[in-house]
């Protein structure tokens, strides 16, 4: 446990990274009032899975406590880094009124700020520097009102970048800098409602509306295409071809208004598929669009290609079955058990029980169980890893237990399904007395 003193409005960033062993660190920041002010999150902007980071504009003045723990019983040594800066004077950005910002050599960082209005919002950065390719290496950091970095937009390989923000999503801070202190250039910043956004700048001419992530030179990524396969019950599997030179892919989904599904963004390293479950409370926000961005060996190399695919939840049920009602009772026990029951689906020959865990950026599959169609209850045990507290359970009904899949051993004749979230109380953590900061610390 570590402590520091901060003032309201200060920006604080803390990172704990595994040093020796397989430690999966977790951070909690406790405010002067004794309440949790922020918790660690795996960042999409790092490739290190054994790293926890948090970023926050401090809400109060006083002494803050930073607690470091381990996820899932992992052990090892860690490095802890704490950075901060005081509140800054930011130039306000006004909807529909662009601002040209000039960056001289060795520039001081420039700050801007705006409040999201009641419309899907486009934040646009256009590179005004001349040259082929587009050579001015600007860097824009976009933070939400919690202090989290939600976008890093870099110049040097595109004329324009843009990010789409949800309506009334709070205050945003824009930090403008240059990756090369010796370079000089200018960028154009614009905040506008998405339906009033100008066309994408490509090759020096105005084009149609660009993807809500970035605009790239045309013709570079024609073979990079994302496809979607509905699995039923809001479960969607997305696939794309491996891109030469790409080692990471960032997946995300926006709804019909252009707002991001908050649990969808995830960074995938050397993977070319991803399964996502649309939460029941988000089902009415469709149709949806999924985006996949492909990048080089490091985040600094920037994005190489991006593609998108639209999808909806139409057809998630059938005429024979309009859905399954599910009930889950958590059984008090040290080893995490659940009594699961569901309504019978007419004509069901088999049920598949899908167990997922909520992780940073989305859901991860834990187990799939098959149950005869005559059974509507099941006792779940030894299926819930200690590193997760919140899970999603789905029961899908099929007419026949075989005939599907590459080997013919998967069910066929999808009927309908249903889902439910369950949450276990986190196990208590014992903290040692506060200790002086050390560059390396060991958790065992």
Mean pLDDT by runs of 10 across the 444 residues of the chain is: 86 84 82 80 52 84 86 80 87 91 88 90 79 68 83 72 81 89 85 78 38 37 79 83 81 74 79 86 77 65 68 60 85 86 92 81 74 94 85 86 69 80 71 44 45
Cβ proximity of 93 and 114 under 8 Å: yes
**Residue 431 within any structural domain of the chain:** no
**Residue 411 within any structural domain of the chain:** yes
Task: List CB contacts of 344: < 8 A, sequence separation 6 or more.
Answer: 376
Shared domain check, 141 and 55: no
Task: List CB contacts of 255: < 8 A, sequence separation 6 or more.
Answer: 261, 282, 285, 286, 288
How many Cα atoms occupy the beta-carbon half-sphere of 283 within 13 Å? Answer: 15
How many Cα atoms occupy the beta-carbon half-sphere of 184 within 13 Å? Answer: 3
Shared domain check, 416 and 367: yes
**Residue 49 within any structural domain of the chain:** yes
Domain limit, last residue, from 87, 108, 127: 87
Shared domain check, 273 and 372: no
Please report the pLDDT score of residue 301 as a whole number.
Answer: 46
Select from 122, 111, 151 the least CA-distant residue to 303.
151
Cβ proximity of 235 and 394 under 8 Å: yes
Number of domains in the chain: 4
Please provide residue 249's backbone torsions phi and psi, each rounded to the nearest 5 degrees.
-135, 130
Please provide residue 184's backbone torsions phi and psi, each rounded to the nearest 5 degrees.
-125, 150
Please report the pLDDT score of residue 337 as a whole number.
Answer: 92
Please report the pLDDT score of residue 407 as a whole number.
Answer: 63
Enclosing domain of residue 292: 227-311
**Residue 379 within any structural domain of the chain:** yes
**Residue 441 within any structural domain of the chain:** no
Shared domain check, 69 and 159: no
**Residue 238 within any structural domain of the chain:** yes
Select from 118, 116, 138, 121 the least CA-distant residue to 129.
138
Domain limit, last residue, from 38, 54, 87: 87
Please provide residue 301's backbone torsions phi and psi, each rounded to the nearest 5 degrees.
-75, -15
Cβ proximity of 41 and 114 under 8 Å: no
Q: Where are the beta strands (DSSP E) in 207-256?
A: 227-232, 235-239, 248-254
Shared domain check, 379 and 345: yes
**Residue 218 within any structural domain of the chain:** no
The secondary structure of residue 340, as a DSSP letter, is: E
The CATH number linked to 66 is 2.60.120.380
CA 389, 395, 400, 406: dihedral to nearest 10 degrees? -40
Shared domain check, 100 and 193: yes
**Residue 220 within any structural domain of the chain:** no
CA 179, 182, 188, 190: dihedral to nearest 10 degrees? 30
Shared domain check, 251 and 145: no
Shared domain check, 384 and 289: no
Reported for 137-140, long-range contacts at CB under 8 A and 24+ positions apart, including other chains, are: 137/178, 137/179, 137/180, 137/183, 138/103, 138/176, 138/177, 138/178, 138/179, 138/185, 138/187, 139/176, 139/177, 139/178, 139/179, 140/174, 140/175, 140/176, 140/177, 140/187
Please provide residue 299's backbone torsions phi and psi, each rounded to the nearest 5 degrees.
-60, -30
Helix (H, G, I), strand (E, B) or coil at 288: strand
Shared domain check, 128 and 58: no
Please report the pLDDT score of residue 420 as a whole number.
Answer: 87
Shared domain check, 411 and 350: yes
Helix (H, G, I), strand (E, B) or coil at 301: helix
Shared domain check, 71 and 124: no
Shared domain check, 333 and 287: no
């Amino acid at each position: 446990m570590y402590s520091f003193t901060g003032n309201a409005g200060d920006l604080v960033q803390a990172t704990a990274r595994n040093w020796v062993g397989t430690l999966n660190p977790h951070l909690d920041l406790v405010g002067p009032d004794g309440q949790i002010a922020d918790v660690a999150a795996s960042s999409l902007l790092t490739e290190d899975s054994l790293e926890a980071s948090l970023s926050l504009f401090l809400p109060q003045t006083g002494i803050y406590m930073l607690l470091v723990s381990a996820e899932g019983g992992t052990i090892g040594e860690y490095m802890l880094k704490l950075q901060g800066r005081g509140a800054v004077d930011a130039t306000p950005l006004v909807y529909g009124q662009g601002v040209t910002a000039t960056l001289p050599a060795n520039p001081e960082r420039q700050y801007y700020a705006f409040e999201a209005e009641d419309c899907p919002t486009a934040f646009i950065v256009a590179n005004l520097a001349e040259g082929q390719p587009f050579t001015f290496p600007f860097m824009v950091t976009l933070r939400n009102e919690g202090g989290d970095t939600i976008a890093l937009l870099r110049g040097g390989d595109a004329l324009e970048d843009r990010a789409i923000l949800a309506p009334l999503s709070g205050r945003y801070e824009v930090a403008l800098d240059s990756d090369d202190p010796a370079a000089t250039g200018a960028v154009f910043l614009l905040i506008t409602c998405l339906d009033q956004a100008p066309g994408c700048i490509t090759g020096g001419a105005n084009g149609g509306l660009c993807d809500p992530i970035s605009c790239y030179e045309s013709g570079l990524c024609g073979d990079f295409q994302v496809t979607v396969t509905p699995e039923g019950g809001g479960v969607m599997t997305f696939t794309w071809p491996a891109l030469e030179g790409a080692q990471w892919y960032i997946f995300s989904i926006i709804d019909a208004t252009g707002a991001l599904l908050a649990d969808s963004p995830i960074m995938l390293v050397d993977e070319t598929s991803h399964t996502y479950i649309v939460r029941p409370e988000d089902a009415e926000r469709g149709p949806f669009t999924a985006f996949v961005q492909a990048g080089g060996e490091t985040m600094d190399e920037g994005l190489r290609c991006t593609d998108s695919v639209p999808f909806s939840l139409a057809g998630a049920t059938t005429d024979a079955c309009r859905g399954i009602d599910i009930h889950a009772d958590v059984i008090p026990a040290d080893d995490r058990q659940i009594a699961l029951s569901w309504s019978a689906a007419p004509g069901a020959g088999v049920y598949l029980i899908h167990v997922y865990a909520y992780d940073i950026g989305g859901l991860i599959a834990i187990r799939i169980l098959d149950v005869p169609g005559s059974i509507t209850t099941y006792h779940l045990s030894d299926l819930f890893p200690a590193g997760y507290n919140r899970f999603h359970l789905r029961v899908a009904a099929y007419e026949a237990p075989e005939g599907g899949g590459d080997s013919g051993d998967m069910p066929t004749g999808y009927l309908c399904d249903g889902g439910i979230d369950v949450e276990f109380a986190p196990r208590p953590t014992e903290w040692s007395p506060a200790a002086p900061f050390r560059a390396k610390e060991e958790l065992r």
